[in-house]
Amino acid sequence: MQVTPADIDAISGLIIDLCGIYLDESKGYLVDCRLGSIAEKHGCKSFEELARKVRTSGSFALRTEVIDAITTNETLFFRDNSPFEAFAYKALPETMDAKAGSPFANRLRIWSAASSTGQEAVSIGISILEHLPDSHRFDVQIVGTDISERAVERASRGWFAEHEIQRGLSPQIIAKYFRPDNGGWRVIDEVRSLLKFQHMNLLEPFNHLGRFDIVFCRNVAIYFTPETRARLFQRISEVMTEPGYLFVGSSESLSDLGPRFMPHLHCKSVYYRPNLPQGVRV
Ligand SMILES: C[S@@+](CC[C@H](N)C(=O)[O-])C[C@H]1O[C@@H](n2cnc3c(N)ncnc32)[C@H](O)[C@@H]1O
């Protein structure tokens, strides 16, 4: 199907409203290859017509189809590696030390915002079992959320294909935390019991998720407009405990968002502590 400037306008307006993702004029090919079959299936003669149908039909299924098609779910285990080092050797022990003696000393809540098919959340779970001594004594909850229903459904299964398991995991970690299952690999229950996945749009309120000690919000805000991105990280900081550790993607930086988002370094990894008490610098 041919993609006209009017189609791009209609689809990019729709996608910004649905999930905050910004598509510029150069994304005609993306519209065509990801939404072409959906437009045909729903009898739309143009992408403009598809955008109108999504907005006016009230069909949740059609909206879901479009969101699943337009979102980029690329992910892998221990992506970029160094954030997981900073998590294991800095954020995790310091968070547990800071909580010692408090009424919530044994509770640890971590959010994988934009968890895609679950590899990030599973990597966090494995890190906890590897690095938190006697982790069974703690009440650990890793919440993974994503706007893509398909990705959340896959993450909840805890099952990964051979080519996925080969991205980011050593043979030792595979042997310890995964079991062969149905031609692929299933993550063991000890890890799965720490994880909970749910559908959620980051543009919508998320206070109902509760507060988090550590947040991973990686490789999603890069697709948003600058205003949506700035507002998102501000809202994330509001659901984080003090001081809180925030990890973003390796190509992302939050320094333009003001002094609360000054970067901190651990070895080669950058993280943020948006709720560090005033005047404290570490
Ligand atoms: C490239 S993946 C990143 C996955 C993982 N965080 C990582 O770094 O490997 C981006 C994810 O963001 C999700 N996403 C995009 N817009 C979103 C929104 N408005 N709310 C929640 N998730 C969104 C997509 O569905 C996709 O799974």
Q: Taking the domains of the chain in order of start, what are their residue ranges? A: 5-70, 82-272
The torsion angles phi and psi of 31, rounded to 5 degrees, stand at -60, -45
Ligand 1 contacts CB of residue 71 (under 6 A): yes
pLDDT (mean) for 266-271 = 91
Residue 282 has pLDDT above 80, yes or no: no
- Helix, strand, coil % over all residues of the chain, rounded to 5: 50, 20, 30
Nearest-atom number in ligand 1 for the CA of 18 is 19
Number of C-beta neighbours around residue 128 at 10 A = 20
pLDDT at 204: 97
- Best mutation site among 21, 146, 164, 169 for ligand 1 pocket (most ligand atoms within 8 Å of CB): 146
254: helix, strand or coil: coil
The torsion angles phi and psi of 275, rounded to 5 degrees, stand at -110, 25
pLDDT (mean) for 120-134 = 96
Closest CA to 46 of 27, 54, 69: 54
Q: Residue 221 and residue 241: Cα distance in Å, rounded?
A: 21
Closest CA to 126 of 87, 184, 183: 87
How far is the CA of 19 from the CAs of 3, 148, 216, 227, 249, in angstroms? 21, 10, 18, 14, 19
pLDDT band at 274 (very low <50, low <70, confident <90, very high): very high
Nearest residue (by CA) to ligand 1, atom 9, is 75
Rounded to the nearest angstrom, the distance between the alpha carbon of 137 and the centre of ligand 1 is 32
Closest CA to 87 of 260, 267, 210, 282: 267
- Best mutation site among 14, 116, 153 for ligand 1 pocket (most ligand atoms within 8 Å of CB): 116
pLDDT band at 25 (very low <50, low <70, confident <90, very high): confident
Handedness of CA 223, 227, 232, 233 (dihedral sign): positive
Ligand 1 contacts CB of residue 21 (under 6 A): yes
Q: Residue 10 and residue 54: Cα distance in Å, rounded?
A: 11
Q: What is the pTM of this model?
A: 0.96
Note whether 267 and 85 are within 8 A (CB): yes
Rounded to the nearest angstrom, the distance between the alpha carbon of 170 and the centre of ligand 1 is 25
Number of C-beta neighbours around residue 158 at 10 A = 20
Note whether 97 and 49 are within 8 A (CB): no
Task: Tell me the CATH class for 5-70.
Answer: mainly alpha
Nearest residue (by CA) to ligand 1, atom 13, is 114
Distance of CA 252 to the CA centre of its chain: 14
What whole-number percentage of the chain has pLDDT above 70?
98
87: helix, strand or coil: helix
Nearest-atom number in ligand 1 for the CA of 112 is 6
Residue 71 has pLDDT above 80, yes or no: yes
pLDDT at 267: 87
Note whether 235 and 226 are within 8 A (CB): no
pLDDT band at 277 (very low <50, low <70, confident <90, very high): confident
pLDDT at 69: 95
Q: Residue 191 and residue 122: Cα distance in Å, rounded?
A: 7
pLDDT at 243: 83
Nearest residue (by CA) to ligand 1, atom 26, is 73
Nearest residue (by CA) to ligand 1, atom 27, is 116
Measured in residues, the chain has a length of: 282
Task: Give the CA radius of gyration of the chain.
Answer: 20
- Tell me the CATH number for domain 82-272: 3.40.50.150
Ligand 1 contacts CB of residue 64 (under 6 A): no
Rounded to the nearest angstrom, the distance between the alpha carbon of 201 and the centre of ligand 1 is 10
Q: Residue 163 and residue 144: Cα distance in Å, rounded?
A: 22
Structure-token pair, residue 269: 């990894």
- Cis ω on the peptide bond leading into residue 226 (within 30° of 0)? no
Burial of 172 (0-12, 13-18, 19+ CB in 10 A): exposed
pLDDT at 133: 85
